[in-house]
Amino acid sequence: MNSATQVKSIILAFRPKTLTAALVPCVAGTALVKAIGLSWDGWVLFYALLASFLIQIGTNLVNDAVDFKKGADTEKRIGPQRITQAGILSPNQVMVLGSLCFLLAVLCGVPLVLKGGWMIVAIGIASVLMGYSYTAGPFPLAYLGLGDLFVILFFGLLAVTGVVFLNTGEWLQEAFVLGLQIGLHATVLIAINNLRDQNGDALVNKKTLAVRFGVQFSRWEIATLCFMPFALNLYWWFEGYKIPAMISMLALPWAVKITKNIFSTEPSPLYNQFLGQAAGLHLVFGLLLALGFAF
């Protein structure tokens, strides 16, 4: 394999299509600050985006290496090929690359700590540790069925409330609701991924919710995750933020399409397309909310 192809494979291992999970909470949280009528700091957005991207990429790489070591990623998997599975890099090399991303995320977090203090230190340390512990360490979250909760918490609640706190110095109820909406949609991706990989995960004792409770449970979980953020728009309506509440409803067809596809299709490689649709739902809904807040 030539070097250009190897570099391309490594970049694909970052799972760029899923990086909306890091982008959306930072942008939406910043837009909420503007909607509240307070000033926002462009440097906070810049460093928060960098740190979030690096934590997510590091989590993806560690997941790649650990799943291969534990036998979850083999030639029989129906998801996209992984670089360790394909032999492009060794598991140890991928772990080093993931660890480097976490280190860079910590460095990007230094300016945020200087602005936000020890609370940001706590959030940053927890984010890095949980990113590593998603599949690695003595209590791997994904293998215990806690991956969905991890995504809601760290790519929703903490990401949004943290950005808002850095700009305002306050922990606001509005930020919690927005973080919950974004976190629920981010979790659609992992829920679809786990349903697709249910059989393979069961063989290696990876007890995702799909493995623990079965296909029908996972389908209803995905439906709930898709539609709950739209129901939460009632909060914005009654709080007087009617433009974001209305404009974000334009993303509803994505939720309907994903749900119909999941209920009508057995776990298969087609689920890779549904993952792309879920990323689109998360991105469009979040950016429409942000656009509504901005105006």
- Domain containing residue 86: CATH number: 1.10.600
Q: Which residues have C-beta within 8 Å of that of residue 83, sequence separation ≥ 6?
A: 9, 10, 12, 13, 64, 89, 94
Could you tell me how many residues make up the chain? 295
pLDDT at 139 over 90: no
Residue pLDDT, tens place only, 245-271: 999 999 999 999 999 999 999 999 999
Closest of 124, 155, 162 to residue 21, by C-alpha: 155
- The predicted pLDDT at position 68 comes to 74
Q: Is the dihedral of CA 203, 205, 206, 211 positive or negative?
A: positive
Q: Which residue has the higher pLDDT, 232 or 142?
A: 232
- For the ranges 5-14, 33-42, 127-136, 225-234, which has the lowest average pLDDT? 5-14
- The rounded mean pLDDT for the chain is 89
Is the model more confident about 5 or about 131? 131
Res. 81: pLDDT tops 80: no
- Residue 253's CB: how many other CB atoms inside 10 A? 11
> Exposure of 202 by Cβ count < 10 A (0-12 exposed, 13-18 middle, 19+ buried)?
middle
Q: Which structural domain range is residue 113 located in? A: 3-294
pLDDT score of 72: 54
pLDDT > 70 in the chain, percent: 92
Q: How many helices (H) and strands (E) does the chain have?
A: 15, 0
CB 104 within 8 A of CB 54: yes
CB 225 within 8 A of CB 256: no
Could you tell me the sign of the dihedral formed by the alpha carbons of 281, 282, 284, 290, in that order?
positive
Is residue 75 pLDDT above 80, yes or no?
Answer: no
Number of domains making up the chain: 1
Mean pLDDT of 31-52: 94
The three-class DSSP label of residue 34 is: helix
- C-alpha distances out from residue 200 to 73, 214, 293, Å: 8, 13, 42
DSSP string, 208-257: -HHHHH-HHHHHHHHHHHHHHHHHTHHHHHHTT-HHHHHHGGGGHHHHHH
Q: CA nearest 162: which of 95, 116, 98? A: 116
- Considering only residues 83 and 32, tell me which one the structure prediction assigns the higher pLDDT: 32
